[in-house]
Amino acid sequence: MLRLPLRRNPAPQVELPPRCRWEWVPVGPMRRERVLVCPPVAPMPGMRSPIIYFLHGAGHSPASFFSELPMERLLPLAEHACLAFVEGGKRWYLDSPVDSRSRGESAFLAALRAVESRYAAGGSRDNRAICGFSMGGFGAMYLAARHPDLFASASSILGPLDIEPLCPDYPGLRALLGDDPNMWREYNPAAHVAALRNVRLLVTTGDEAWDRPMGRRFVEACRARGILAAYRQQPGAHDVGFVAAQLEPHLAFHLNAGPAWRIRRARPDDADALARNCFSKSAPDDVARDLEWSLAEAAHGRRVHLVVELGEAVANGELSIMGDRAKIVNLVVEGSLQGHGLGTALIRALTGEASARGISTLEIDVRSDDVRVRALYEREGFAAYREATVPLNGQPTRVTYLRRAVPSRISHVGGE
């Protein structure tokens, strides 16, 4: 099936903000290209400024971030950073193996060197990030996987990140990669996620966007290798309006050097993600009803419902409150993300919530043969106090009950 690039909204030429300027940089023998640079308003004295590179979609240009997207409104959020909007043409930010004239990757790297030398920005991996939309979303992840030593974080909005299913029918890529499926695999970001282990990643796509399955497969490939890729699936299609709505959270992602995940209170709109990541054996409608009930109980002070958000909810934990006692229930971490401390973080957050409510005893029950989960709770101060055989999924199952005293004045999760 023919896949069309991101639809472009007709827009007049825009006058750039005073902060921004065009720079001509050498990108090859006898070749120069323009890069749109927004230097920091308030650089840190004696320090190189952090830099974020922005890559545009097919049919767009660096100026599109201002003529068609709300980048001017977002500039105050990045006063200490240098922003560089790099020309991509139709090159997909790669060096074509079949067209020696198309050197997108080489041109990008040359632009990076020129901009950072002129503006005392970047200079090290920890000081550099990359973001793109559509073709540029592909380019951001492709370049990050090719050069993980260059980028601390990388993000994609509507990027086709698993291009092999498009072979050989996508004309823009066919012109660059030819008809050989092996060549498409060589240039496929989803096939090279292992290189991204130490790069903070965010992938955003629309629930009606044609790139959505490709973005999801890319994230699944990351998580299968224990890489914490954040994934956000938002309402919308593969169009400029969607990109405009997502630029701000992507800019914030790159400006915040903390962990890609956070613990927060569950919300009604977590139902789809929880059904997908934590309760896949249950019907989505049942997950939504259980969530609705849990949030109603929380509103009456009888429950606390927390999730770990990695772009979307990927882990779930609840506190059932019974007077001065409480029980941890439904603690689930998405399978490929186990082993990264998300479960431990949830236990500690729920313990903090219990402490804030004056609860004296916290309880949990686990399958007696689940040695790994039991050890997790024991490391957090729980001790077994009895065992029993109970029916579980229609089968008699041995269960161990654990509990711990709740210390006072533990910090708890804030926010909504």
CATH of the domain at 338: 3.40.630.30
Give me the pLDDT at residue 414, please: 53
Taking all residues of the chain, what is their mean pLDDT, rounded to a whole number? 91
Strand order in the sheet with 82-86: 21-28, 31-38, 82-86, 51-55, 128-133, 153-157, 200-206, 229-234
Is the preceding omega at residue 168 within 30 degrees of 0, hence cis? yes
Mean local confidence (pLDDT), 185-211: 96
CB–CB of 309/227 below 8 Å? no
Is residue 7's pLDDT more than 90?
no
User: Higher pLDDT residue, 5 or 17?
Assistant: 17
Least confident of 81-90, 166-175, 346-355, 391-400: 391-400
Mark whether 283 and 347 lie in a shared domain: yes
Domain around 177: 21-260
CB–CB of 328/318 below 8 Å? yes
Percent of the chain residues topping a pLDDT of 90 = 80
Strands 395-405, 361-367: pairing kind: antiparallel
CB–CB of 359/321 below 8 Å? yes
Element (H, E) at 242: helix 240-255
Is residue 45's pLDDT more than 60?
yes
The count of domains in the chain is 2
39 within a domain of the structure (yes/no)? yes
Question: How far is residue 416's CA from residue 222's CA, in Å, rounded to a whole number?
Answer: 29
Mark whether 220 and 291 lie in a shared domain: no
412 within a domain of the structure (yes/no)? no
CB–CB of 352/410 below 8 Å? yes
Is residue 274's pLDDT more than 60?
yes
Mark whether 59 and 144 lie in a shared domain: yes
Give me the pLDDT at residue 395, please: 86
* Domain edge (last residue) among 219, 244, 260: 260
Q: Residue 226 is part of a domain; what is its CATH number? A: 3.40.50.1820
Mark whether 160 and 283 lie in a shared domain: no
Mark whether 97 and 229 lie in a shared domain: yes
5 within a domain of the structure (yes/no)? no
Mean local confidence (pLDDT), 321-325: 93
Give me the pLDDT at residue 9, please: 44
Give me the pLDDT at residue 279, please: 94
Is residue 5's pLDDT more than 80?
no
Q: How confident is the model at residue 161 (pLDDT cuts 50, 70, 90)?
A: very high
279 within a domain of the structure (yes/no)? yes
What is residue 311's DSSP assignment? Answer: S
Is residue 1's pLDDT more than 50?
no
Least confident of 104-113, 244-253, 306-315, 386-395: 386-395
415 within a domain of the structure (yes/no)? no
186 within a domain of the structure (yes/no)? yes
Give me the pLDDT at residue 148, please: 96
414 within a domain of the structure (yes/no)? no
Is residue 204's pLDDT more than 90?
yes
Is residue 2's pLDDT more than 50?
no
Question: How far is residue 14's CA from residue 389's CA, in Å, rounded to a whole number?
Answer: 71
Mark whether 247 and 268 lie in a shared domain: no
Q: Dihedral sign, CA of 276, 282, 286, 289?
A: negative
Q: 187: which 2 tokens?
A: 């240039």
Mark whether 278 and 192 lie in a shared domain: no
